[in-house]
Structures are given as structure tokens and as C-alpha cells.
Amino acid sequence: MAAARPRYRLLYTDTGGTFTDTFLVDEQGHFVIAKAPSTPDDIARGYFDSVGSAAEKIGLTREELFRELEVLGYGATVVLNTVLTRSGARVGVITTRGFEQIFDMGRGKQGWTGFTVVDRIHVRTHHYPEPLVPIERIRGVTERTDARGQPIVPLYEHEVAPAARELIADLGCEALVVGFLFSWRNPAHELRAKEIVLETARELGRSVEVYTSYEITATRRELPRFNSAVVEAYTGRKVKEAFRSIQRQIRAYGFRGNLQIMQSSGGLASVENVKVVETIQSGPVGGLIGGKFVGDLYGLRNVLTTDVGGTSFDVGIITDGRIEVDREPELARFLMGVPIAAVNSIGAGGGTLARLDPVTKRIIVGPESAGARPGPVAYGLGGTCITTTDCDVLLGYIDPEYFLGGRIRLDREAARACMEETISGPLGLTVEAAALGIVEILDVKMRDAAVGMIMAKGFDVGNYTCMAFGGAGPTHVAGYTRGVNFGGVMVFPYSAVFSAFGASCADYEHHYSHALTGIVPASASAAVKLAVGAEINAAWETLEKRALEEMALEGYGPGQVQFIHLVMVRYGRQLEDLIVPSPVSRVLSLEDWDRVVDAFERMYEKVYTSAGKYPAAGYEILEVGLVARVDKIKPVLRRHPLEGAVPRREAFKGNRTCYFRQGWVEASVWDYDGLRPGNWIAGPALVENETTVVVVPPDRDLYVDEYLTGWLRSKGESSLP
């Protein structure tokens, strides 16, 4: 009698700009990976194509697979794409009278963020971001709350209904945002205005979504707070419908739970309760979470994650085991007020376009991408501009017959003809020399982005291990780490779906924040410190109550929820604060206060060095936070015994001619899935599976460790990781 197969428990899918990736895990920790082209016009189609591919690999139908799954996670960049393409809802805004032009005025930082140095210094190339809500759809009403939360001018309720009626009936707004000054201190005016707007919409017989800035994110600064609410309103209906479309179909297939959405802060939340604005970077953040999970497994405290997808190169940094969080991130040049795990992105990936400047005859690489359609020229779907993937095919790195395991056949001759016509011919170069030049330009851009993120913080690159993933990461990592003394360079057999893997490592989480005014001079008395402590405690209690209510909606009881208390602290009169995990859950004594201050100063010393500490300036705590977390099952990376340096014969696939700086050379080709722990592969070599290929140039070797992770080493470097 055949042994019963393990049950599949976890499935995570990540929709990128070019491919949709699936990571499937059974109860013993074994996993299956799959990819399918993304379908931007209907993300559900690409989702089920990718999941269907995974089901096919294990001999199950979609229905059979969904019926036995326990956890279903999903990450996508739908919010970002909706903002970039300006394809969201028609939004109106009701704000404090006199501040109707807040989106046009913006802030100095917002006006210049996202520009290159060249574009910043040339006035003709600089422009301010176009607001999602034009001034014509903004109405001011009389009200005012001061910085302490005291109403000094009552809300003129008789002004709200006419404003709402005009925005809804006359201007056709599908969603409204109510955003008032200092609502983070006292949201009463916003909440009452929302009630009036909803009453007005009912009288008009219109279905209108109404959002308040306080309910989206209760941050101090009004522009990020208002921007966050506007993005939620602008993208909410479209994005939630996309998520719910997937939810309806998986329920029809027999899945009994809720789809869990990856949030930009690094946790999962039910599709029914997630704020779409908190999913801005849900795809790239998955890679960062996965990097921390693997780093913890190896005991690596400092990690640089590099994700080379089809459209972008996403870089994240983990220092001393901690993922940095950006509390005022940028989305399509808008400053936002929601926490995001810090990921820097540039336009560089497998689909990055290369073209020739007609005047200077200089090759320009990126940042534009061919996307999933038309994609690279070699796809044969109408692409007319050379991409990085075309270059990898021309250089012999990618086997045209084995792309995605042979499911997509690439046209090498079409890529060659396009290269000759558009780039190599006009420059008088061979096709291969032009292709290598394009790849090296892209590699330099990625190296600058990766190394720059570490050096900008004053850290030593040699203390960091570089993890390379994404479909094109292993192909290009030898190039973008060349000349950089990383502590190690890692690739994975599941690199192509690493972001989906990372999402499977995340817990269920909700993040909350509450602004306050906690100012403690250096000479403050015990009474002042305890008074600020009481204000902190009250804020935490409010957030805990809210967290338990929301977790209950997702089916989690108080006994399952863990709290992480945060304080945002800075020295007096500084502009930026640090997010400090509090060593206490309540500040009830001077000893508790001292422990909070000590935690801040130790973190400050790590970030800015001890020379920057300035306790004589006193302390300011202007915001506190709370992370509500529920543990979930996670994948298990299995450890295998070492088998020796020489690979098994069946792992060898033959030789292929590849083009490197030395010219055309014979490279050995290996099946990654056939390699065993302890194997050494000498460059030049190509180590491939159906979703990616590790390029090992002549000056490098590849070592496979107990977890089947590949370590790229300099030629002759025999020391093991």
C-alpha cells in the first residue's frame, strides 16, 4: 500500500509587473514553485494560471489543492499601478477652510522626491507631481481644532451637506475624503462630517465611499495623512474588487478561509479588513521578510536583500537583525503616512529596455520596462525594443528552449535582428559586445543602488551578506557584486519566487499609531516624566482595544494576540525620530521611563554613532505605535547531509557557449535541482532550473550548502560560508 502523501498547507502568490509567482508548502516543509506571466488587465487570471501550474506539478486539480490548504497569502503592487496609471476612482475632498490648496502646495520634499540629480538641477525637466484630486474637487468648511485637540471653532455642519452634495451630484465623485487639521488629536469633527456626508449620499441615492484621514492613519503631519486617505479612496474600490474577485473564485474552488494580503509593513491581514494603502509595497516587502527568515536560520545579523524581477530592482537592508521601517514613504512621488518596510527600488530588471540616443550615440538602459506584454523581443509578442532578457539570451546565459521550463520558447534570432538594427549596427559593434555592454551598464546601476543603501548609513559593506533573488537575480548577481567585498553572496533554488516565499514567513499583523505630545526636558521633574508616561499608557490602551477588536473580526481571540509596543523618540528640537521597541508595556515608574530612554539611546548610538548622542537636549515622544501579531505556521527549510564536492553525473546537462569579458567560452550547464549539499561548481558555468539560471563567470565558483543555498565565491576561495 502506497504511503499517504503529505498534505499541502500553505500557498503564497506574488503578482509582479512581469510574472506571477507561487510558493506551495506541504506539512513536512517540502515546497513547490511555479511562475506564470502576469496579466495586468485581470490579475486574477495570472494568479490562477500560476497556482494552476503549481497544482499540475503535484498532480492535483485546482479544486483538490484549494480544498486542503489552510493558509492562502497574496501580494501585489495593484495600488502602485493604479496610482501610476491614474486609473482610480473620482475622488473629492472636504477639508478645513483655507487649506483647499494643500495638495497643490505639498511640501518641499514631495516636490523633488523621485527625481535624479540631473532632473533636479534643470528647471525644464522638473515638474511637481500631479495631484490625484484637482482643486476643482476640493471644498473647505469652517472648523478648527488646535494642536492640543481642543475645538476652537466648531464644525459648521450646515456647510458640510452642500459641499458633499456639490461634489457627489454635480462633480460625480465616487469617493470622498474628510481631512481636517489636528484630527489626529481629536477626530470628532472628521467623524461628524463623515456622518453628514453619508446622510447626504443616501438622500441623493448614491453609493459613495467616505474616508476620514484619522481612520486611515492618525499621524501628525497633515500632508502624508491626507495623501494616505486620498490614495485609499482613489484605489480602494478597484483594488478591493480585484482582491475579492480572487476570494470569490478560491471559495468556489473549496477554500474555507480568507485570502490573506501581504502588507507593506511586513505582516499579513485578511482581505476583509486590510487597508489597501497598506499594501503599496506588498510584493517587494515579501523578499525582505524572507531575507530575515533565512538570515535568522543562518545566524546572519546583517543582510542586504536584492530582488531583480522583470521590472524593478528592489533593495532592502537588515541591520542587527532588524528590518528598518519608513514611516513617511514615497508612493509615485507622494509622501505617505503609513509604515512601510524600507525598500529602495530602481527601474532595472529582466524587462528593462535598452535604446540608443540618436544624438550622442550613447546606450541608455532603463528605467522603462517592457512588462509582461509585449515583453522582450524574444517573446515574439510584438516587442520592438531590446531588453535585458534579450541580452541574456544572446550571450548564451538563458536557454531559449528552457525558459520557464520550456513553457515559453524564446526567439533568439528575432532578438539578434533587433539588436543589429537598433544598437550594435549603428555603433559598429558585434551583437555580443553590445549585449554585454548593456548587461554591464545595468549591473553597475544595480551595484550602485545596493552598495549605496549600506554606505549611506555609514555601515561597512563587508559586514553584510548579499542575498540575490527574483527571476533575474541569480543571472546578474555576479555582475552587480563584482568588486564589492560582501561577507557572502547567496542564491537559492527558489530565487524566482522568493517574495512569495517571504510572504509565507510572515505572521498575521496589524500596525497602529497614535500621535501625542510628550516633551521631557533634560531637567524635567519626576512628575513631568510620569505625566508623559501616563499619556503614553493611555495611547497604548486605546490602540490595544482597537487591535483586539480588529483581530476578533478575523477570528483571533485575546489569548492569541501578542503586542509589541513602540515609542517614536527623538532628542529635543530634532526633526526626525527613531522607532524604538519599548522594553515595557506600560510606563508606571521612573525606572520604566529610564528603560525606555536607555533603549532609545542604544538604538541612536547604532544608527548615528555615540558621538551624536545629546541627552542634554531632552527627549520628545510625539507618537507611539503598536504591532498586534498572531503567529502562524511557516515553511521549514530542510537541512541535508553533505555529500561531497563532486556533483552527481545526472546533474550535468552538457556544455553551452557563453559570452563573457574574455569572449566566447565553453560553460558547463548543471541542473540546480540535481545538485546536492557540498557540491562545488567551477566557473564558467550555468546552474539552471525551470525558473532561473545562476551565471557563474570564469572568475567565480559556486558552493551548495546543507540547505541547497548557493554561495558565489571568488575563484580559488576555498573557505566555506
Q: Residue 625: inside a domain, yes or no?
A: yes
Same domain, 520 and 592: yes
Same domain, 660 and 614: no
> pTM of the prediction?
0.87
HEC profile for 109-145?
Answer: HHHHCCCCHHHHHCHHHCCCCCCCCCHHHEEEECCEE
Peptide bond into 493 cis (omega under 30): no
Boundary (domain end) residue, out of 630, 661, 684: 630
Mean pLDDT value across residues 530-541: 96
Instruction: Report pLDDT for 227.
Output: 93
Quick check: helix, strand or coil at residue 567?
strand
Same domain, 615 and 668: no
Q: Residue 22: inside a domain, yes or no?
A: no
The model's confidence at residue 4, banded by pLDDT at 50, 70 and 90, is low
**Does residue 204 surpass a pLDDT of 80?**
yes
Same domain, 624 and 537: yes
- Rounded-to-integer distance, Cα 183 and Cα 188, Å: 8
The model's confidence at residue 115, banded by pLDDT at 50, 70 and 90, is low
Look up the CATH number of the domain holding residue 603. 3.30.1490
Same domain, 612 and 693: no
Same domain, 607 and 666: no
Q: What percent of the chain has pLDDT over 90?
A: 61
Write the pLDDT tens digit of every residue in 356-397: 988 888 999 988 888 767 889 999 988 899 999 999 999 999
- Rounded-to-integer distance, Cα 178 and Cα 214, Å: 9
Q: Provide long-range contacts, Cβ within 8 A and 24+ apart, for 399-402.
A: 399/656, 399/669, 399/688, 399/693, 402/688, 402/690
Same domain, 555 and 608: yes
Q: Write down the mean pLDDT value for the chain.
A: 90
Q: Residue 341: inside a domain, yes or no?
A: no
**Does residue 110 surpass a pLDDT of 60?**
no
Q: Residue 139: inside a domain, yes or no?
A: no
Q: Note the Cα 455 to chain centre separation in Å.
A: 21
Boundary (domain end) residue, out of 598, 630, 662: 630
Same domain, 514 and 573: yes
Write the pLDDT tens digit of every residue in 251-310: 999 998 889 999 988 889 888 888 899 888 887 889 999 999 999 999 999 999 999 988
Q: Residue 114: inside a domain, yes or no?
A: no
Give the total number of structural domains in the chain. 2
Q: Note the Cα 682 to chain centre separation in Å.
A: 34
Residue 344: other Cβ atoms inside 10 A: 16
Instruction: Report pLDDT for 1.
Output: 41
Q: Residue 683: inside a domain, yes or no?
A: yes
Most confident of 103-112, 342-351, 358-367, 465-474: 465-474
Q: What percent of the chain has pLDDT over 70?
A: 95
- Rounded-to-integer distance, Cα 669 and Cα 695, Å: 10
Same domain, 572 and 621: yes
Q: Residue 431: inside a domain, yes or no?
A: no
Boundary (domain end) residue, out of 601, 630, 659: 630
Cα-flanking dihedrals φ and ψ of residue 120, to 5°?
Answer: -70, -35
Same domain, 625 and 656: no
- The domain in which residue 589 lies consists of 508-630
- Rounded-to-integer distance, Cα 88 and Cα 174, Å: 10
Same domain, 602 and 674: no
Q: Residue 452: inside a domain, yes or no?
A: no
**Does residue 627 surpass a pLDDT of 60?**
yes
Give the Cα-Cα-Cα angle 633, 634, 635 (nearest 5 degrees): 135
Same domain, 516 and 553: yes
Instruction: Report pLDDT for 719.
Output: 58
Instruction: Report pLDDT for 393.
Output: 96
- Nearest Cα to Cα of residue 544 among 507, 514, 500, 577: 514
